[in-house]
Structure 1
């Protein structure tokens, strides 16, 4: 069976990753360790201004069942249990947050050669029901993402999207916020050998007639070092360099400057991820 259209969240994902992934203005430190039993423990800390946020995440995989448990600074307990392929193409995900009693949710994902479907329902008396579906193939796909609040009887989310992929380019168009926001994105691979790519994202709001445009690029200086840069129509320019100094251990330095207010200090972000 060939590659299918994926899930709705995959529409425009390559462009979003190029333009936004790994950019940050905070200082983040992450350490991952592995045990002989297959348990993966990841500890992370993030300094946001004067605040320091930390969490510990444990992941255990046993056959086709993966259990993720994360505890954060505020003593919230996030639990996700994923059952991979109880039937061909099907994935079942249970998730809940303690002490939030309304956070319980069960999600079913089904991937087929010509369709990708995800549906979830909250584990409450009056749950929020979400459905997203994509039909097509690995070239052209059309999908929708809808949420319905059974307590109020209102549709809380209604999005639609279209994606076109061919050889070295990916273009997508999505209509979000119940038809108020139109987002067009473009991703083009310039050179696969050096992972060189360019991308752009244009957002238009019909309610206030606002437009925003972000353009970015990436390039691999060598197999272990990647640089990225982006600029938007508001004059904010960002750049980052990411180096894999040992297998799966990454050092990322990113910066942002407002070209319309050069006198203001630039924002510098640092992320260090350590894996044995």
Structure 2
């Protein structure tokens, strides 16, 4: 299984994570309590402008089944039931929100040593169907994704992509937005220890011939501290400093400044994650 293809969603994921993961421009707090029983609890809070948003999540594990329940600030209840090995190489995920009775969705993931298939369908009278498939191995991945709206009998999306991965580099090329956008990304480890990585992502609009790009880096200072940077052609510059002050417990400071809008104050955020 380790040498089989990753899901289609993993194409370009390494570059996306380096450029976007953990950047946060609000005040965020996460407390996770695993517990000695199959039950675990997580509380999340975020100060977004003048609004405080929060939710409480609970997870219960029993054999091959995992049940996740989340209650947000507005008393909306989201439930996800995951069943592993419903058949060889496959797992199923049933999700729905309360009180939204049309939010139900069924996802099935099939990870075979030669092919990876992800499919989802809405559980309502006019569902949207999404199917993604990828073939290859841990080094080369080729795949595509199609979305179909049964209500309008039309395709909502079709995407294709290819990626090449090695421990010291990763490159991907994707055709998106129904064939209107071409996105390329590249990640390279500067040193043999993989402590310093650089990343570049470029997007080309085929219809308008517009180009955009983003560059970034990630540097592991030591076992506790990581620094990331990001530069975009739209003039935005961002920086992230993260410290793991105890195992799985992180404090992250993020900041972003728009060099083309000097009259606007820089954005910054602080996130604290506690996982005993």
> Fold-level match, TM-score > 0.5?
yes
1:164 deviates by: 1.2
Q: How does 1:58-77 map to 2 (within 5 A)?
A: 58-77=58-77
Q: How does 1:81-100 map to 2 (within 5 A)?
A: 81-100=81-100
SS of the counterpart of 1:160?
A: strand
Pairing 1:185–2:185 present: yes
State the distance in 2 between where 1:192 and 1:275 align.
31
Q: Which residue of 2 aligns with 1:232?
A: 232
Moved more, 82-91 or 131-140: 82-91
1:194 deviates by: 5.3
Deviations 1:62-92 (Å, cap 9, x if unpaired)? Answer: 1111111111112211111111123332111
State the distance in 1 between where 2:155 and 2:267 align.
39
Deviations 1:217-273 (Å, cap 9, x if unpaired)? Answer: 001111011000010111111001100111111000010111233443211110000
Pairing 1:275–2:237 present: no
Provide closer, same or farther for how the CA distance between residues 76 and 207 of structure 1 changes in structure 2, counting only shifts above 3 A: farther
Contact 2:203 2:212 in 1 (8 A): yes
1:34 deviates by: 2.7
Aligned residues: 276
Q: Which residue of 2 aligns with 1:131?
A: 131
Q: Which residue of 1 aligns with 2:265?
A: 265
1:166 deviates by: 2.9
Q: Which residue of 1 aligns with 2:13?
A: 13
Deviations 1:169-203 (Å, cap 9, x if unpaired)? Answer: 11101111111111111111223535211111111
State the distance in 1 between where 2:6 and 2:199 align.
20
Q: Which residue of 2 aligns with 1:119?
A: 119
Deviations 1:6-47 (Å, cap 9, x if unpaired)? Answer: 111100000000001011211101111133322111111111
Pairing 1:166–2:138 present: no
SS of the counterpart of 1:4?
A: coil
What's the TM-score, normalizing by structure 1? 0.96
Contact 1:169 1:189 in 2 (8 A): yes
1:207 deviates by: 3.4
Moved more, 5-14 or 95-104: 95-104
Contact 1:148 1:154 in 2 (8 A): yes
Question: Unmatched 5+ residue regions in structure 1?
Answer: none
Contact 2:168 2:194 in 1 (8 A): no
Provide closer, same or farther for how the CA distance between residues 73 and 192 of structure 1 changes in structure 2, counting only shifts above 3 A: farther
Q: Which residue of 2 aligns with 1:196?
A: 196
Q: Which residue of 2 aligns with 1:245?
A: 245
Contact 2:171 2:185 in 1 (8 A): yes
Pairing 1:221–2:221 present: yes
State the distance in 2 between where 1:203 and 1:134 align.
22
What's the TM-score, normalizing by structure 2? 0.96
SS of the counterpart of 1:222?
A: coil
Q: Which residue of 2 aligns with 1:55?
A: 55
Contact 1:194 1:221 in 2 (8 A): no
1:209 deviates by: 2.9
1:98 deviates by: 1.2
